[in-house]
A = this chain, B = another copy of it.
Amino acid sequence: MPKLTNDWIFTAHCPSLIGTVDVVTRFMADSGNYIDEIHSFDDRVSGQFFIRIEFHPQDETFTETGFNEAFAERAKPFGMTWSLTPPGYRAKVAILVSKFDHCLNDLLYRHRTGQLQIDIPVIISNHPDLKPLAEWHGIPYYHLPITPDTKPQQEAEILKLIDKYNADLVVLARYMQVLSPDMCNALDGKAINIHHSLLPGFKGAKPYHQAWEKGVKMVGATAHYVNNDLDEGPIITQGIQTVDHAHYAEDLVSKGQDIERITLFNAVRYHVEKRVFLNGKRTVVFSN
C-alpha cells in the first residue's frame, strides 16, 4: 500500500459541532501539511464526528511532537481526540489461537508477503498444536493451558504477555475460549474477534451443522471488537460465501473457514490502516 508508507494519517473524533472539519483542515493548511485524501462522517444519530486524513508535510521542520503540541490548543474547545500515524508505521499485533490454524495461517501469510504491514511479536494459545507454525516464522509462542480453575491466572498471564510485547492490537484468531468479563474489559476496543454469522443466525454449539439442517444457501463471518458482550461487540466488517445443496455440514465448516479468514484479514487491515472508529456499539469504517 504505497499511500500508507508515503503519507501520514491523521484521525480524530469528537461530538458533532459546527467547525469540526474546519478546525482540522485550517490547521493543516496553516502548518503546511498537504492533504491527499479526506473522509469525514458526522453521525446525526449518535451526534459524533469522525475524520481520517492522509497528508504529507511540506515543511521540513515537521515533527510529530510539534504537530501534536500545536494542534492540542485548537482541538481543546471541541473535545477532540486525535491520533497521528507516521508513514511506514507497523502495528504490533498479538495473536491468540486455539487449535484451528486457518486464521493464523492467513495472517502470517499476509504478514510475510507485505499485504499486512504489521509486526507479530507474540502468539499465545491454550494448546501446543500451532507451535511449529509460529517457530517456522520465528515468532515466540506461549502455550498457556486453561481449565475452569486456572482461567483467572491464565488470563492474567495473557495480559502480562500483551503488555510485555507492547501489543497495540490483540487478534482472537479462532481462540475458542469465552473470555471472562474482566478480560473483556481489559481488551475493550483493543481486540478483534472473528465468529461465524449465518443466515439466519444460529446460536449455540455446532452452528454450521444447525445451518445445514436449515438448508442455508450462504454462510458468513463477522469480525468485531471485543467488548463485554463477547460475540456481539461493535462490528467492523462481515463476509459471505454462497453454498448449495451439495455442501454437507462439514463442507459448510470448510467454506465458513475460508470466509472467516478473509473477513478477519480485512478487519485487521482496516484497523491498522486507521480506518475504523468506535461509535458507541457501532463503528465507522472508511474502507477503500
Contact = CB atoms under 8 A, between A and B. Distances in A.
Contacts of A248: 2, 44-45
A246 B41 contact: yes
Interface stretch (A19-27, A122-130, A178-186): A19-27
Contacts of A228: none
A64 interface: no
A215 B2 contact: no
Contacts of A288: 244, 246
B282 A214 contact: yes
Given A105-B109, A113-B102, A238 B218 contact: yes
Contacts of A109: 105, 109
Contacts of A94: none
A2 B251 contact: yes
Interface string A1-16: 1110000000000000
A200 B217 contact: no
Each complex incorporates copies of this chain amounting to 4
A77 to B, nearest CB: 13
Interface string A34-45: 111111111111
A162 interface: no
B213 A240 contact: no
Nearest to A218: B238
Contacts of A200: 197, 201, 222
A28 B22 contact: yes
A216 interface: yes
Contacts of A28: 21-22
A205 interface: no
A164 interface: no
A217 to B, nearest CB: 5
Interface in A59-101: 101
Contacts of A2: 248, 250-251
Contacts of A216: 235, 238
A234 B215 contact: yes
A29 B18 contact: yes
Contact of A41 (B21, B37, B237, B282): B37
Nearest to A51: B38
B245 A282 contact: yes
A22 B18 contact: no
A53 to B, nearest CB: 9
21 contacts: A2-B248, A2-B250, A18-B32, A18-B58, A21-B28, A25-B25, A25-B26, A34-B42, A35-B42, A38-B39, A44-B248, A105-B113, A199-B222, A199-B238, A199-B240, A215-B235, A216-B238, A217-B235, A238-B242, A244-B287, A245-B284
